[in-house]
Chain A
Amino acid sequence: MNAFRHAIGHLVSCKDVSRLLSQEQEKPMSWWTRVKVNWHLAVCSMCRAFDKQLRFLREAMRRYRT
């Protein structure tokens, strides 16, 4: 089961995921891309940390301008 989770989690790489998560702030992902990214996030704590940081960055810029 873990091997399977690992395999579907790596249909996309960290590099792709980081780019897609950034791009999502301008344009929604297709459903299949979203599924692959979610599978990746489920097994990758580094990309989960990155995802959190991106959201924080947006919030920080919102505070910066208000």
Chain B
Amino acid sequence: MNPDFLKELEVQRGYLLRVARLQLRDTALAEDVVQDTLAAALAAQDGFTGKSSVKTWLTGILKHKIVDAIRRKQREPVAVSTLDEEADLEDFEGLFKENGAWSAPPADWGDPEQSLSRQQFFDIMQFCLEKLPPNTARVFMMREVMELESDEICKELTITANNLWVILYRARMSLRECLELNWFGKRGQA
């Protein structure tokens, strides 16, 4: 067994756990899924060609494990009803005036790309992701981290395309607002 490889897996474990926890909202289940992922990675380490980073490769394995876990979890009826609630457009009314104009207009973030080289930015991002409603976070992570296509997500979660768009819109609006309040408003310009 290659000790460097083991060390690398240990380094990535924290990231994998954060991603799994955000999507599953169940710490014990997230631990199980990450454990499975690392075991699968160890068993398949010869399959790792080094073409992608270890992180990307592990995320690929994690993706399948999470989808399996969600598929099993989805048989619990509670998840579906809260999903419907989170797919409701009515909540957005407060963000816009009666005539559809912004009531709290988005600010100019200047040159936001500069933030991407700072670890603190990603800590704030993590904080904002954790503030999303559970199913909203799950759908957003499936789309943006697991890079699943819309129809795959709809099929896994048995929601309509329209529900999916509303949930992703909600996630983006909320993340945008959270980043503006906690990062760009305070220090982004600094």
Asked if A pairs with B, the answer is: yes
Residues A14 and B144 in contact in the complex (CB < 8 Å), given A53-B176, A60-B116:
no
* B60 CB, nearest partner CB in chain A, Å: 10
* A26 CB, nearest partner CB in chain B, Å: 5
Query: Are A22 and B150 interface neighbours, CB within 8 A?
Result: no
User: Interface size on A (CB < 8 Å)?
Assistant: 27
Q: Which of under 10, 10 to 19, 20 to 34, or 35 or more describes the interface residues of B?
A: 35 or more
The complex places the Cα of A58 from the Cα of B125 at a distance, in Å, of 12
The complex places the Cα of A23 from the Cα of B143 at a distance, in Å, of 12
Indicate whether A33 reaches chain B with its CB closer than 8 angstroms. no
Query: Which secondary structure dominates where chain A touches chain B?
Result: helix
Identify 15 new A-B residue pairs, CB closer than 8 A, beyond the known A13-B99, A13-B101, A56-B109: A13-B96, A14-B100, A14-B101, A22-B168, A23-B165, A23-B168, A26-B143, A26-B150, A27-B161, A49-B105, A49-B109, A53-B112, A60-B115, A64-B144, A65-B19
List 30 A-B residue pairs with CB atoms under 8 Å apart, sorted by A's residue number.
A13-B96, A13-B101, A14-B96, A14-B100, A14-B102, A15-B92, A15-B95, A19-B169, A22-B173, A23-B165, A26-B150, A27-B165, A46-B102, A49-B107, A49-B109, A52-B109, A53-B180, A54-B176, A56-B112, A57-B172, A57-B175, A59-B116, A60-B125, A61-B144, A63-B122, A65-B55, A65-B56, A65-B59, A65-B144, A65-B147
